[in-house]
């Protein structure tokens, strides 16, 4: 097994890009788990653009949004290439392509933007009931063998419908954290977690069937990616399932109930 920290530290400069080897314990079937692929793309962007200057602030601005497409399987030695799409006084649009033995696997576009004063403040996202994760059932205990990556993630079932329960209301709420102790809260580490739950569409079916995330659109709701004890709370709901696809909404809070990330995924549902 390769711990998350060692894996991210193993990303190395290669020509005009970056390279990293991912061990089998981070696979989801025949490909690198999508959350990790997203985290690797973000890390490559930080490596490439972290030293760019923006006005009086020398630091790369916080991430505001991301659009990630899982184009194909990511296998073998992975190559990452980061490029600037546009750089303004306070914003940066960047593209990162992740390729493996089979070619392009993941394409990510990141929008970084400096904070500025706003005349209005409004939050319509409600905080769900906050339960102690340690009192909730282990969610990944009976995960399918093909989901190698879940051995790195501690997941607790908080509420909703479990996968393959035939629920009329396909939605679930989980608490998640890395099993590796001592990982500091960061956006990269959070991306490696936030895609871990199975699509909520799995709760509608009564038996296992192939399900694959195609795209992931992310909006960051805060500059401060922090939590307590490594735990985050995520709620996934399938808003539509038809014609072999599902559209799901995802909201993530920290341990104090502060909304951190809102996102959507388009899911391919087979069978």
| 15 and 102 belong to one structural domain | yes
Nearest alpha-carbon partner for 83 in 132, 174, 29, 16: 16
pLDDT for residue 261: 98
Task: Please give the pLDDT value at position 57.
Answer: 57
How crowded is residue 162: how many other Cβ atoms within 10 Å of its Cβ? 13
Asked whether 110 and 68 are in contact (CB, 8 A), the reply is: no
Distance, in Å, from the CA atom of 53 to the CA atom of 19, rounded to the nearest integer, reads: 25
* Residue count (the chain): 271
Residues of the chain below pLDDT 70 = 55-58
d(CA 62, CA 39): 15
pLDDT at 52: 74
3-state class of 183 per DSSP?
Answer: coil
Task: Verify that 52 and 177 share a domain, yes or no.
Answer: no
| Domain extent for 72 | 1-114
φ and ψ at residue 49, rounded to 5 degrees: -115, 5
Co-location of 49 and 143 in the same domain:
no
Instruction: Note the pTM of the prediction, 2 decimals.
Output: 0.96
Confidence at residue 254, expressed as pLDDT on a 0 to 100 scale: 97
Residue 51 pLDDT: 76
Looking at residue 89, its pLDDT comes to 87
Residues 132 and 178 both lie in one domain = yes
Joined together, the tokens standing for residue 9 give 């530290």
The pLDDT value recorded for residue 142 is 86
Neighbours of 30 (CB within 10 A): 10
How high is the pLDDT of residue 60? 87
Same domain, 103 and 197: no
Residues in CB range of 118: below 8 A, 6 or more apart: none
CATH number at residue 13: 3.10.129.10
Specify the pLDDT at position 55.
60
């Amino acid at each position: 097994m390769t711990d998350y920290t060692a894996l991210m530290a193993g990303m190395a400069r290669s020509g005009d890009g970056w390279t990293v080897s991912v061990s089998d314990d981070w696979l989801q079937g025949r490909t690198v788990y999508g959350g990790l692929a997203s985290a690797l793309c973000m890390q490559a962007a930080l490596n490439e653009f972290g030293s760019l200057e923006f006005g009086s602030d020398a630091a790369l601005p916080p991430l505001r949004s991301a659009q990630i497409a899982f184009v194909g399987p990511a296998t073998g030695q992975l190559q990452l290439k980061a490029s600037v799409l546009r750089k303004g006084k306070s914003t940066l649009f960047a593209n990162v392509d992740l390729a493996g033995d089979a070619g392009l696997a993941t394409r990510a576009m990141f929008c970084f933007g400096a904070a500025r004063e706003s005349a209005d403040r409004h939050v319509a996202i409600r905080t769900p009931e906050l339960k102690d994760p340690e009192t909730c059932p282990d969610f990944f205990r009976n995960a399918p063998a093909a989901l190698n990556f879940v051995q790195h993630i501690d997941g607790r079932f908080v509420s909703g419908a479990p996968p393959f329960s035939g629920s009329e209301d396909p939605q679930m709420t989980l608490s998640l954290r890395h099993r590796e102790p001592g990982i500091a809260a960061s956006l990269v580490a959070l991306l490696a977690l936030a895609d871990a739950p199975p699509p909520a569409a799995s709760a509608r079916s009564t038996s296992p069937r192939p399900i694959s995330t195609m795209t992931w659109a992310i909006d960051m709701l805060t500059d401060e990616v922090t939590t307590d004890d490594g735990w985050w709370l995520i709620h996934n709901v399938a808003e539509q399932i038809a014609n072999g696809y599902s559209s799901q909404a995802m909201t993530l809070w920290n341990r104090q109930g502060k909304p951190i990330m809102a996102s959507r995924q388009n899911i391919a549902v087979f069978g």
